[in-house]
Structure 1
Amino acid sequence: MGAANVIPGVSGGTVAFITGIYERLIDALKAFDLKAVRMLFQLDIKGFASHVDLGFLMALGCGVLFSVFTLAKVLKWAFADYPVLVGAFFFGIIFASIFSVGKMVNRWRVSEAVALLVGLAIAVALAFMSPAGENTNLVYLLVCGVASMCSMIIPGISGSFILLLMGNYQLIMIKAVNDLRQLNFAESLPILIPVGLGALLGLVVLSHILSWLFKRYHDTAVSLITGFVAGSLVIIWPWKSVAESVTVNGKVKIIAWHRELPDFAQGSTWGALGILMVGVGAIVLMEKLSGSRPERSA
């Protein structure tokens, strides 16, 4: 999940869903409620750990941190130097995972088909929306935090991509983060604190909503997410050129792309297609090794 967030258009939620831990993750996040706080104040560590599935969250957190300091750096370098190949690999993974996620729907009815099309339409529409202008209003920054966290949890939608559409990607992910690294708290904290509060609010609220949806309308919810994942293929499309970029401290940050058709006359295109098939094969192999489809919570 940590490595996925490095690649524009790939969300950690997608990886969680592919690997079959998504519903357990949502339930664990939802468990951070008043009961959990009460257990902490009463020093009931064992009860707290059981209530929030702490062992699972710690294992997942360690994996994310390990990825950030190892695999994510490799992917970031590879995406900077070989964007088409890395994009093709993730395109193959996401393409193959559509069928894996779709198999989690126990019964396809009209409502599931409609949910699939709605999810697909939303994700594709997001891919072609024009970015808004920068806005430093406090309420808008809170909304940015809510939206970015919600999109990170929902499979198929990238949090950084949502910030780009809302016009505050450069302000938050580049300027504010860079100011924080330089210990310029007067510039960074007024931006990052409201965004962080919004992200926390979005995490708490959305985890409860998603948990309720999975328990009451499991097949419809999975169908909607399948549409999101399928639509994200437009965002991660490997063959694209830079439409808009900014330079910060001598480093070029790409914030918009032009999508193009692959040129089959070039050998590099066939190489990218080969890498794409490797991504597809990785998902097929994972399913064969698991011996069954991903588990769902009760």
Structure 2
Amino acid sequence: MQERRSLRDYIALSGKGMMMGAADAVPGVSGGTIAFMMGIYEELIFSLKQFGPTAVLMLFREGPVAVWKHVNGSFLLTLISGILFSLLTISHVVLYWLAEYPELLWSFFFGLILASVWSVCRHIDLWDRNTYTSFIVGVVTAYFVTSMSPTSLEVTPLFIFLSGMVAICAMILPGISGSFILLLLGMYAPILMAIKNLELVTLSLFVGGCIVGLLSFSRVLSWMFSSFKTTTFALLGGFMLGSLNKVWPWKYTTAYTINRHGEEIPLVQENISPFSFESLTGEPALLMYSLLLMIVGVLMVVVIEKMGRKSEV
């Protein structure tokens, strides 16, 4: 599963990590989707699974160099560095676009995810009752999750830790957005602000939860890929298709909440037609620009797919 890479390959891998980080910063888009399209998803899951008792024993018996090779350390370090760099820089841009041009941002990701459904499903050679059932289960599950209304709970150290555990599991699942899970838990804004302001205590708790959740859930995913690969692909494709409910560009807000700065922010939103968007919201639908960005998102998947296939050769 581990691959031998040149310096050029590691630079490209860092770029893939940056793209994953940029996707994870947006509620509704999964970094796992990007990893899958770039052809590194299974290697990522395999590498994370390597952390465990065997790695600990190897550390004492053979030393850190052997452990580093065992867990595919160079791959993980490069990828995670790209993700963290992107999160530290892209969060400012994401907040701006979400505030000023949400329809355009969601349009781009709608096209990206729509094309990603094909990206995943192309790996399924034979569609039978099991794959269709798995696909439908994925669609229904993702649609249900993305239709839930955000909640607001007290931000305690334990809740921050648990939020990290839950969100990271979603982040590595194509089609299920870890950022949206944080939004449902009422933790998206606090965590994004902690990243921007480098609040080390909050970030340490959150990262600790992410590590525990990641190392646990990666074993489940690795088992699913090794035992039920085709069914797993169908399930992930269904997750992506169902998640389009969340990234539909034109929304009408039916309920608001007040954040800790006294600002009014959307809490519950309904998907509406772009043709009724202007009359209901008083804002321009930006239909032509939105459609153009959807096409850009689709074309980007095609380009990423070609890059991913080259990396598999």
Aligned equivalent of 2:170, options 142, 147, 151 = 151
Post-superposition CA distance 1:15-60 (Å, at most 9, x none): 1112121111111111111222233345623311211111111221
Q: What is aligned with 2:270?
A: 258
Q: For residues 124-273 of structure 1, what are the structure 2 equivalents within 5 Å?
A: 124-134=143-153, 143-166=162-185, 169=188, 173=191, 177=194, 193=205, 196-242=207-253, 243-249=255-261, 253-263=265-275, 268-273=286-291
Please give the per-residue CA displacement for 1:144-172, whole angstroms capped at 9, x wherever unaligned. 443222111211112232233345556x5
CA contact (8 A) 2:51 2:71 kept: yes
Query: Counterpart of 2:12?
Result: none
Answer with 274-283 or 247-256: which moved more.
247-256
Q: Does 1:54 align with 2:65?
A: no
CA distance in 2, matches of 1:282, 1:207: 27
Provide structure 1 residue ranges, at least 5 long, that are not aligned to the other structure: none
Q: How much does 1:233 deviate?
A: 0.8
Q: What is the SS of the residue equivalent to 1:104?
A: coil
SS in 2 for 1:258: strand
Superposed displacement of residue 253, structure 1: 5.0
Please tell me whether the aligned partners of residues 6 and 76 of structure 1 are also in contact (alpha carbons under 8 angstroms): no
Q: TM-score, normalised by structure 2?
A: 0.79
SS for the counterpart of 1:156 is coil
- The residue type paired with residue 99 of structure 2 is A
* Contact residue 30 and residue 175 of structure 2 kept, 8 A: yes
Q: 1:231 to 1:37 in 2, by over 3 A?
A: same
CA distance in 2: counterparts of 1:78 and 1:139, whole angstroms: 31
Cα separation, 1, equivalents of 2:100 and 2:186: 26
Structure 1's 278 and 52: CA in aligned 2 closer, same or farther, altered over 3 A? same
Conservation of the 8 A alpha-carbon contact between 1:145 and 1:196? yes
Q: Between Structure 1 and Structure 2, how many residues are aligned?
A: 287
TM-score after normalising by structure 1? 0.83
Shift of 1:79: 2.8
* Percent of residue pairs bearing the same amino acid type: 37
Select which of 289, 297, 301 maps to 1:279.
297
Corresponding position of 2:101: 82
Give the secondary-structure state (helix, strand or coil) at the position aligned to 2:51: coil
Kindly provide the amino acid, as one letter, of the partner of residue 272 in structure 2: E
Structure 2: distance between partners of 1:70 and 1:131: 26
Structure 1 pair 221/79, CA: closer, same or farther in 2 (3 Å)? same
Q: CA deviation at 1:113?
A: 0.5
1:112 and 1:223 in contact (8 A); partners too? yes
Taking structure 1 as reference, are residues 165 and 96 closer, same or farther at Cα in structure 2, changes over 3 Å only? Answer: same
2:132 matched to which residue of 1? 113
**Runs of 5+ unmatched residues, structure 2:** 1-19, 279-283
* 1:163–1:31 distance in 2 versus 1, CA, 3 Å: same
Counterpart Cα distance in 2 of 1:92 and 1:222: 20
- Encode CA deviations 1:55-107: one digit per residue, 9 max, x unaligned: 11122122213322444433332232211111111111111111011011232
Provide closer, same or farther for how the CA distance between residues 97 and 294 of structure 1 changes in structure 2, counting only shifts above 3 A. Answer: farther
